[in-house]
Structure 1
Amino acid sequence: MSIQDIIEGKKEWRAHVARVKGLPKDYQIVYKEIQKYLFKVGPVELTDGIGLLSGIIDLFEEGASLGKGVLEVTGSDVAAFCDELIKDSKTYADIYQESVDQKVSKAMKKVTDKTK
């Protein structure tokens, strides 16, 4: 990653944060919780850019412009809303599960090989 890429990434992030700050307060609160949730359990590709997060802001800006409350946009179960957004994406949990499965398989193969 070049210095120019880092600078552009920071500019993009600052613009993103400015959009969040432009949302009504209830939308800002829910957005920040969604962001935390996605950073903890979310898709691996979230670290490659802010596309998903920008899409959420687009949705929130539209909802706010229509006079809807944020929970009218997301539903009352915000975690389920997030899960639906990332349902087809590989998550860190998926990677961890695969790692555990591989380690168990490798260990069981060693045990099986020793008993033969």
Structure 2
Amino acid sequence: MGVRDIIEGKKQWRAHTARVKALPPDYQIVYKEIQRYIFKVGPIDLLDGHPLSGILDFFEEGVAAGKGVLGLIGDDVAAFCDDLLKDSRTYADIYQESISENPGTAGK
């Protein structure tokens, strides 16, 4: 990854965060919770890019349609995230596999 790639990545992230800031406050709160969840779980095998871009598009469509954010995703944000990432391999999966392969070595 070169310097130009890093700069381009930062530009894309700034544009992405500007779109998030343009959302209504309730959408922003839920988006940030989803973002926190995804960053914590860490999907690693994403064929279609990062899920946050798709969620942002989905939220913008919901705002345009005049729907509330919980009307789009339901009352349980974590369940929505779990369903979104259900077929993606995560860092948590890798950790679980490493624990089960080497029993008794977790504390060493």
- Aligned-partner SS, 2:23: coil
2:3 & 2:45 partners in 1: Cα distance?
Answer: 21
2:62 matches 1:69: no
Q: Which residue of 2 aligns with 1:16?
A: 16
Residues in 1 aligned to 2:50 and 2:18: alpha-carbon distance in whole angstroms: 15
Identity within the alignment, %:
68
User: Structure 1 unaligned runs (5+)?
Assistant: 108-116
2:26 maps to what in 1? 26
Map of 2:57 onto structure 1: 58
Measured in 2, the distance between the counterparts of 1:45 and 1:54 equals 16
* Residue number in structure 1 paired with 2:103: 104
Q: Which has the higher helix share?
A: 1
Aligned partner of 1:113 in structure 2 is none
Distance 2:15 2:45 in 1: 20
Higher relative contact order (CA 8 A, sep 6+): 2
Q: Which of these two proteins has the greater Rg computed from alpha carbons?
A: 1
**Contact 1:42–1:86 under 8 Å retained in 2:** no
Q: What does the per-residue CA deviation read over 1:91-115, in whole Å, with 9 as the maximum and x for residues that have no partner?
A: 111000111112129x7xxxxxxxx
Pairwise CA RMSD of aligned residues?
A: 1.9
Consecutive unaligned residues of structure 2, counting only runs of 5 or more, are none
After TM superposition, the runs of 4+ consecutive aligned structure 1 residues lying more than 3 A away are: none
TM-score, normalisation: structure 1 = 0.83
* Aligned residue pair count: 104
Structure 2-normalised TM-score? 0.89
Name the counterpart of 2:6: 6
